[in-house]
């Protein structure tokens, strides 16, 4: 039995989570990540990018601390099995780090990569509009934003890890060419 709830060699997944009334919407919005190869791993670090602490918003520090202590199940799974302790190609990710006027779920300062996990609350039109504005502002500040549904993380964590790794390779390639 793997730590992800399946037999060894089977697709990794976190234990099922009861999401409530929005569960059907999440499944429709987030189809399973089938046919995505397992995480390749390895790789080395690139040189520092143009990240500076000027994007850090210390006014939001108490809120970020509260969010770190109240992680969702999908955030916990992604952190524990994919991002923590340099597991993703040796890069250091931070949880709920204040950036500009936002607190993204995960941030790799070196790559200026932000990973956001969307739960059932992101199904509302108002929240979706806020997410679009937020993402645009972060991208205008030079960050790359990746979004995943909670259901993807809980049911197909290998596919999520693979997509994060692909984005890291893309950023590394782009930074080598500049």
The CATH number of whichever domain residue 143 belongs to comes to 3.40.960.10
**Whole-angstrom distance, CA of residue 110 vs CA of residue 51:** 6
Mean pLDDT, rounded, for 128-154: 95
Q: Is residue 2 part of a domain?
A: no
pLDDT of residue 58 exceeding 60: yes
pLDDT of residue 142 exceeding 60: yes
pLDDT of residue 1 exceeding 70: no
Q: Total domain count for the chain? A: 1
Query: Would the pTM count as exceeding 0.85?
Result: no
| pLDDT given for residue 125 in this prediction | 87
Q: Is residue 5 part of a domain?
A: no
DSSP states of 100-148: TTB--SEEETTTTEEEEEE-GGGGSHHHHHHHHHHHHHHHHTT-EEEEE
Q: Is residue 37 part of a domain?
A: no
pLDDT of residue 29 exceeding 80: no
Which of these, 51, 47, 13, lies nearest to 32 by C-alpha position?
13
Q: Is residue 162 part of a domain?
A: yes
| pLDDT given for residue 122 in this prediction | 67
φ/ψ of 73, rounded to 5, equals -60, -40
Q: Is residue 40 part of a domain?
A: no
Which of these, 90, 148, 72, lies nearest to 116 by C-alpha position?
148
* Host H or E run for residue 73: helix 73-78
CA 119 to chain CA centroid, Å, is 12
Mean pLDDT, rounded, for 13-17: 45
Look up the domain containing 146 and give its range: 51-176
Give 132's pLDDT tier (boundaries 50, 70, 90).
very high
Q: Is residue 43 part of a domain?
A: no
Q: Is residue 116 part of a domain?
A: yes
φ/ψ of 151, rounded to 5, equals -60, -35
Look up residue 84 and give its DSSP letter.
G
Q: Is residue 15 part of a domain?
A: no
Tokens encoding 105? 């779920």
């Amino acid at each position: 039995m793997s730590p992800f709830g399946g037999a060894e060699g089977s697709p990794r997944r976190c234990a099922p989570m009861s999401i409530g009334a929005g569960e059907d919407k999440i499944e429709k919005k987030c189809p399973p990540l089938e046919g995505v190869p397992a995480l390749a791993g390895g790789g080395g670090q690139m040189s520092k990018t143009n990240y500076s602490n000027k994007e850090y918003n210390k006014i939001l520090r108490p809120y970020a601390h509260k969010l770190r202590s109240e992680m969702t199940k999908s955030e916990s799974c992604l952190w524990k099995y994919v991002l923590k302790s340099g597991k993703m190609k040796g890069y250091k990710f931070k949880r709920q780090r204040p950036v500009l006027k936002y607190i993204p779920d995960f941030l790799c300062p070196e790559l200026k990569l932000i990973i956001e996990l969307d739960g059932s609350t992101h199904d509302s039109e108002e929240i979706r509009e806020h997410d679009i504005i937020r993402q645009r502002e972060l991208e205008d500040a030079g960050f790359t934003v990746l979004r995943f549904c909670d259901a993807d993380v809980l049911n197909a964590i290998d596919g999520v890890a693979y997509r994060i790794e692909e984005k890291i390779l893309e950023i590394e390639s782009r930074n080598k060419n500049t």
